[in-house]
Structures are given as C-alpha cells and as structure tokens.
C-alpha cells in the first residue's frame, strides 16, 4: 500500500512507478493532517493533487503529460474497479485510472487479488456497519473495492474451506497508510467474528502504538517496529525490528516513542514526583528533535486511554507502576553526562579499549546501550504480556497480517535504514516469488501456453546485504566480535568484497559511506554504525535480564 501504493510498482514492466510524495505535500499540509483519525471529509476541503510519476532511474513525468496515444477514450473517462479489466494496460492507463478514481473519492482499486490504496488523509464514511454487512460473506470482486473488507473477507472465506493459513501483506513507503489499513482490517474482523474478545482486540492497538510509534518527518504516528498479527479467534502479536536508536537519538522534528511524552503529560503529579520526573523538554532523550508536542495530539488524553487499555488487558497496578518506573529510569539515564577526567580505568580494561580518547565515547555508548536494552526488553515483555492475554489455547485457522515500516531514503541513512530497507527488499522478493516465479512455474508444469513476463529479480540485492559469508550484515557481525574494529575497518571490508558488485556503489571520494541499488531506488548509507557499540550492545544484551 503506498502513496499510490507500492503495489503500483508491482507491475511486470520496468521501470516501476510511484507517485511522488513531495508533490502531494500541498494536499495534506500539516494543517490538514490530523494525527490519529482525520476529520470527516467534505467535498469543499478536498484538494485534488496533481500526482507525478517517477520512473526509477529516469527523469520525472507528469501524469498529465504521459503519452496517451494508445488510450481509448473509455479508459480516460471511466474508472475501473478491477484494473485487470482494463482493455489497455500500460503505465499511463494505470495511473490515470487511479487518479480518476481518487478524484471521485474512490481510494481502493483491485489489481487481481492486490488492493491498491491511495492515502486520502481524510476519513471517508466507508467503514461503518452498513459496509460490513454489505461485504460480509461475499467473495473478492463481488462488491466494489471501496473497502479493505473485500480483500479481508476473501481471505476469511477461503480458510474456512481450505483449512490452511492465509496472509495479508501491507507494503508501502512510510506514511502511506499501512498501519491504518491493519487497524481497519482488524476492526472488520472483530465486527464479523463475534467469538473474539472485541474489547481486548481494540485495546491492543493504542497500547502498542504508544510504545512502538513515534513522530518522524514523514508521519506523525510512524510505526517504528514490525508487527506480525495472527488472527485466530483471538489476536496474537509478534513484534520485531524495534527501532532502538530512537530511544537515545531523534533527528530534527522527530520524537522519541509516544509513551514517554504521554507519561510525562498524564501521570498524576504525586507519582511524577515519586519518580523525580519533570517536563519532556528537560530530558536529553526527548528534546533532541526540537518540539516535544505534536499538533492535534493530546498526550495527556492518550495517557488516559493507554491506562484504560491496560486495565482492560488486566495489567496489575504493580505492573503498571513498574512500567513507568523503567521508563523514568531511561530518561534519568539519558541525562547523565561524562567529562574526560572521569574516565575509569576498569572500563578501559574491561572492553580492551586502548585509546583513552575513545573511552569517553564509550561511556556515552555504554549509557545509550543500557537505555536501549532496557526499553527493548520492556517492549518485548509488553508484547509477551499482551499475547498471554489474547493468544488462543489451541491453534485454529488463522489470517496473518504483517505491518512493517516502509522503505526509507532519508537525508541521513544509517544502520536502521539498512535493516528497514532490507526487510522491504525481502517483502518485494516474497511478492515476486508468489506473483511471478511460482505462477509461471505452475503454468510450465501444467503445460499452459503463456507469454514470459519479465520481472526484476531482487535476489542479488538480498545476497549483497545478507548472504553468507560476505554480505554487508555478515561483515558487520564479524567486525562486532573484534573490540578493535571500527566503522572504518568495516567499510574497508565492504569495499573490498563488493566493489565489483553492480548493485554496490563505492563513493568516488573517500567518504564514510556506501550505496546500494535497491528495487525501489538507490540509497546512500552513512557508515556511522558504531561497530564498537554493536559489540557493547551484544555484551549487555546478554547481561541484563528482565
Ligand atoms: N484509509 C485512510 N483513510 C484516511 N486517512 C488515512 C488512511 N490511511 C492512513 N491515513 C492517514 O495517514 C496517516 C499515516 O498512516 P499510517 O500511520 O497508517 O502510515 P504507515 O504506512 O503505517 O507509515 P509508517 O511506515 O511510517 O508506519 C494516518 O495517521 C492517517 O492520518
């Protein structure tokens, strides 16, 4: 799902397409962007964007100027629910169809079993009970795709028949609407599956969002962890890939995880005093991004919702107090500063750090590593706790929903972006395998006549990042075992092993960076991985138990 969704990239033609984010900016400017659920839509407020098309690796094209010579007037004038029904299928036609539908407030379009969604940043009145009833029990394509219900429902019917497991995969760049789509699907499932404990299902989302979401420059409520939800008769979360760097560092205009600000805004003053807590602006771990508030978000109100959710999920008062105590200690930890004369010999000896200059940096690294581990253990404990409440005792049929954060190319890309983009690269690989490779293999097996559909196989990129023994992440792993290793030695090893790989870009100047040609575009990664801290992190991860 993307701006126009990344699914729009999933076409058989190269180069791929997407509608440029920046061009939509005036459409959803800050004043119109509401933090959680946008206000009801009115036609007067609706500004139609002029989507632009980017062909990867080529210059930009405007939808208006895309060559329409082969486009029949019917395509230009009508809109097609199901893109496969279009008589003429090419990039211009696909985009024009999506745009025409978007202007008519139709944000969902089918491409076979794929649902393309354009984020309207306005809540349309299409998610009510009447719609649930309209879609319930109907197969994909029987109703217009004006809801995610159709797709969800098709999965929901099939498992009952086939007794196997099905997946919904949300994909798209940051801010495209994956998390909202996940929630809509869950709400739909909760509405049609009365055996579930609906109160618990609804409550887990705000809880997980407080601890796992944060404001970024792209999305005020960006998920900074991957979520894998299995809907049995109950809901089961499996979370991973929590963005740990955010706990100790935030870029300009970004925030730490919502929970810290919500806690400081909403905690009763007596409890706040007991934890020696002050306002958010006074904490180094919370004030690096600048503004500690988000327009349209009431942190105190969200704190109250969070506590209510904890009550419904049977969190004991003692557990709740412990959670806030751990959060408070992370904030206090962040305000500890070291000066050079305080360098301790034991630390230098313990980690075999030879240079005293390096030791000071190590103290900060040590402090940050402990903070990150504390938070990630708390987060892990929380998901375990939620799962123990809602996980089914016996396995039944399930629908799995995966919602991870989208592909990122920021001004400064580091280790976290490498992990995020690798995960997205892998999802693209998975998609290619299902849609192209396995389908074509089946045609061959059944000797069905078919025309070879070329697609860009991204296996080489996955190998570059992670294959044994010299994938970039493997090199990082190896290097983190050596206390003497540095970012420089790591980078030299990457250059040495991959300089001839066409997907790897070695900078012309001796700058501490490397580039990768991903399926969605080139990304330059600044090597500020702090290899030594990865070593420290591994050390403390093993030492601290919750
Ligand atoms: N279907 C929708 N209708 C109306 N507004 C939406 C819809 N989907 C998303 N939005 C708006 O877009 C914002 C960003 O969406 P969301 O958080 O789901 O993006 P995301 O793809 O999960 O981003 P990230 O990868 O950063 O987590 C939401 O806060 C909401 O305001």
- 280-309 mean pLDDT: 93
Write the CB contacts of 132 (distance below 8 Å, at least 6 apart in sequence).
149, 188, 191, 192
Q: Strand pairing partners for 110?
A: 82, 115
Q: Are 505 and 517 in contact (CB under 8 A)?
A: yes
Q: Are 83 and 17 in contact (CB under 8 A)?
A: no
- From the CB of residue 537, how many other CB atoms can be counted at a distance below 10 Å? 21
Dist. CA 183 → ligand 1 center (Å): 10
pLDDT at 31: 28
**Quick one: which of 383, 240, 236 has its CA closest to 323?**
383
- 523-546 mean pLDDT: 64
Q: pLDDT per residue over 366-388, tens digit each? A: 888 889 989 989 998 998 888 77
Q: Are 219 and 174 in contact (CB under 8 A)?
A: yes
Q: Are 347 and 363 in contact (CB under 8 A)?
A: yes
Ligand 1 binding pocket (C-beta < 6 A) is: 34, 38, 119-123, 172, 174-180, 219, 221-223, 405-406
Classify domain 415-533 at the CATH topology level.
Answer: Methane Monooxygenase Hydroxylase; Chain G, domain 1 (1.20.58)
Least confident range from 111-120, 234-243, 381-390: namely: 234-243
Distances (CA, A) of 463 to 164, 428, 478, 497: 31, 14, 16, 12
Question: Which candidate in 2, 92, 175, 266 is catalytic?
Answer: 175
Top pLDDT among 451 and 218 is at: 218
pLDDT at 302: 93
The reply to whether 301 belongs to the active site is no
The reply to whether 174 belongs to the active site is yes
* Whole-number percent of the chain with pLDDT over 90: 25
**Position in ligand 1 atom list of the atom nearest CA 36:** 29
pLDDT at 317: 92
**Position in ligand 1 atom list of the atom nearest CA 177:** 18
- 182-208 mean pLDDT: 68
pLDDT over threshold 60, residue 451? yes
Cross-sheet strand order for the sheet of 521-526: 504-505, 513-518, 521-526
Write the CB contacts of 463 (distance below 8 Å, at least 6 apart in sequence).
471
Dist. CA 119 → ligand 1 center (Å): 7
Would you place residue 72 in the very low, low, confident or very high pLDDT band (cuts 50, 70, 90)?
very low
Residue-averaged pLDDT of the chain: 71
Least confident range from 86-95, 124-133, 361-370: namely: 124-133
Confirm whether 6-194 and 415-533 share one CATH topology. no
- 253-259 mean pLDDT: 95
Among protein residues, the one with the nearest Cα to ligand 1's atom 11 is 121
Domain boundaries, the chain: 6-194, 415-533
- 38-53 mean pLDDT: 31
Q: Strand pairing partners for 55?
A: 17
Would you place residue 66 in the very low, low, confident or very high pLDDT band (cuts 50, 70, 90)?
very low
Dist. CA 296 → ligand 1 center (Å): 15
Q: Spell out the alpha helix ranges (H) of 299-394.
A: 299-312, 317-334, 345-350, 356-390
Ligand 1 pocket test target in 28, 37, 179 with most atoms within 8 Å of CB: 179
pLDDT at 447: 82
- 175-198 mean pLDDT: 71
Q: Measure the CA–CA gap between 247 and 371, rounded to whole angstroms.
A: 7
pLDDT over threshold 70, residue 543? no
* Whole-number percent of the chain with pLDDT over 70: 62
Q: Give binding residues for ATP as ranges.
A: 172-179
Q: Measure the CA–CA gap between 443 and 457, rounded to whole angstroms.
A: 19
- From the CB of residue 443, how many other CB atoms can be counted at a distance below 10 Å? 14
Ligand 1 pocket test target in 29, 102, 119 with most atoms within 8 Å of CB: 119
The most confident of the ranges 107-111, 166-170, 319-323, 380-384 is: 319-323
pLDDT over threshold 60, residue 6? no
Write the CB contacts of 122 (distance below 8 Å, at least 6 apart in sequence).
38, 39, 40, 41, 45, 46
- 470-474 mean pLDDT: 93
pLDDT at 169: 72
pLDDT over threshold 90, residue 515? yes
Q: Are 99 and 51 in contact (CB under 8 A)?
A: yes
pLDDT over threshold 90, residue 189? no
Options 3.40.850.10, 2.30.30.240, 3.40.50.300, 1.20.1260.10; CATH for 6-194 is 3.40.850.10
Q: Measure the CA–CA gap between 406 and 421, rounded to whole angstroms.
A: 8
Q: Are 467 and 523 in contact (CB under 8 A)?
A: no
Residue 527 region, left (φ>0) first, then alpha (ψ -120 to 50), else beta?
Answer: beta
The reply to whether 179 belongs to the active site is yes
Top pLDDT among 20 and 492 is at: 492
pLDDT at 124: 78
**Position in ligand 1 atom list of the atom nearest CA 1:** 21
Write the CB contacts of 281 (distance below 8 Å, at least 6 apart in sequence).
287, 292
Q: Measure the CA–CA gap between 334 and 198, rounded to whole angstroms.
A: 39
Top pLDDT among 226 and 60 is at: 226
Place of tokens 């792993």: 477
Among protein residues, the one with the nearest Cα to ligand 1's atom 14 is 175
Least confident range from 58-72, 100-114, 400-414, 443-457: namely: 58-72
Q: Which helix (H) or strand (E) holds 504?
A: strand 504-505
Q: Measure the CA–CA gap between 100 and 80, rounded to whole angstroms.
A: 9
The reply to whether 406 belongs to the active site is yes
The reply to whether 222 belongs to the active site is yes
pLDDT over threshold 80, residue 309? yes
Dist. CA 175 → ligand 1 center (Å): 5
Ligand 1 pocket test target in 30, 221, 402, 410 with most atoms within 8 Å of CB: 221
Place of tokens 């893109």: 83
Write the CB contacts of 157 (distance below 8 Å, at least 6 apart in sequence).
137, 139
The reply to whether 219 belongs to the active site is yes
**Quick one: which of 528, 457, 466, 459 has its CA closest to 498?**
466
pLDDT over threshold 60, residue 159? no
- 320-348 mean pLDDT: 79
pLDDT over threshold 90, residue 68? no
Residue 296 region, left (φ>0) first, then alpha (ψ -120 to 50), else beta?
Answer: left
């Amino acid at each position: 799902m993307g701006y126009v969704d990344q699914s729009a990239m999933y076409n058989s033609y190269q180069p791929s397409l997407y509608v440029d984010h920046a061009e939509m900016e005036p459409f959803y400017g800050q004043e119109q962007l509401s933090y959680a659920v946008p206000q009801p839509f009115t036609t007067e407020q609706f500004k139609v964007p002029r989507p632009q098309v980017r062909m990867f690796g080529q210059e930009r094209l405007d939808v208006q100027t895309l060559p329409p010579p082969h486009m029949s007037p019917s395509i230009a004038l009508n809109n097609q629910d199901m893109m496969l029904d279009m008589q003429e299928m090419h990039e211009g036609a696909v985009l024009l169809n999506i745009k025409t539908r978007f202007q008519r407030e139709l944000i969902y379009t089918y491409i076979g079993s794929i649902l393309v969604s354009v984020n309207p940043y306005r809540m349309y009145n299409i998610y009510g009970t009447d719609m649930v009833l309209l879609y319930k029990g109907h197969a994909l394509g029987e109703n217009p795709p004006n809801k995610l219900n159709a797709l969800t429902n098709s999965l929901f019917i099939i498992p009952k028949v086939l007794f196997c497991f099905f997946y919904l995969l949300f994909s798209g760049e940051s801010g495209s609407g994956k998390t909202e789509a996940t929630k809509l699907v869950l709400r739909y499932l909760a509405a049609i599956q009365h055996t579930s404990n609906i109160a618990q299902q609804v409550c887990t989302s705000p809880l997980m969002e407080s601890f796992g979401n944060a404001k970024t420059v792209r999305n005020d409520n960006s998920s900074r962890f991957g979520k894998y939800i299995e809907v049995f008769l109950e809901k089961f979360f499996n979370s991973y890939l929590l963005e740990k760097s955010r706990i100790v560092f935030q870029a300009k205009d970004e925030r730490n995880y919502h929970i810290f600000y919500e806690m400081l805004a909403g905690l009763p003053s007596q409890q706040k005093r007991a934890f020696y807590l002050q306002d958010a602006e006074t904490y180094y771990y919370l004030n690096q991004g600048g503004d500690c508030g988000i327009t349209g978000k009431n942190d105190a109100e969200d704190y109250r919702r969070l506590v209510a959710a904890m009550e419904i999920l049977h969190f004991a008062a003692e557990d709740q107090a412990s959670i806030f105590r751990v959060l408070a200690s992370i904030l206090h930890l962040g305000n500890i500063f070291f000066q050079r004369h305080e360098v301790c010999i034991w630390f230098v000896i313990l980690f075999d750090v030879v240079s005293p200059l390096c030791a000071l940096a190590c103290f900060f690294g040590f402090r940050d590593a402990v903070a990150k581990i504390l938070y990630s253990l708390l987060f892990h404990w929380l998901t375990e706790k939620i799962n123990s409440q809602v996980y089914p005792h016996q396995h039944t049929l399930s629908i799995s929903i995966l919602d991870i954060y989208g592909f990122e190319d920021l001004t400064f890309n580091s280790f976290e972006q490498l992990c995020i983009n690798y995960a997205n690269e892998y999802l693209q690989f998975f998609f290619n395998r299902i849609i192209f490779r396995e389908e074509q293999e089946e045609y061959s097996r059944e000797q069905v006549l078919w025309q070879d559909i070329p697609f860009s196989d991204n296996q080489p990129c996955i190998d570059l990042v992670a294959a044994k023994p010299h994938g970039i992440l493997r090199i990082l792993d190896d290097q983190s075992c050596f206390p003497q290793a540095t970012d420089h030695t790591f980078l030299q090893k990457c250059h040495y092993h991959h300089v001839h790989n066409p997907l790897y870009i070695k900078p012309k100047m001796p700058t501490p960076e490397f580039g990768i040609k991903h399926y969605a575009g080139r990304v330059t990664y600044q090597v500020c991985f702090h290899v030594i801290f990865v070593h420290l992190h591994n050390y403390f991860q093993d030492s601290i138990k919750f």
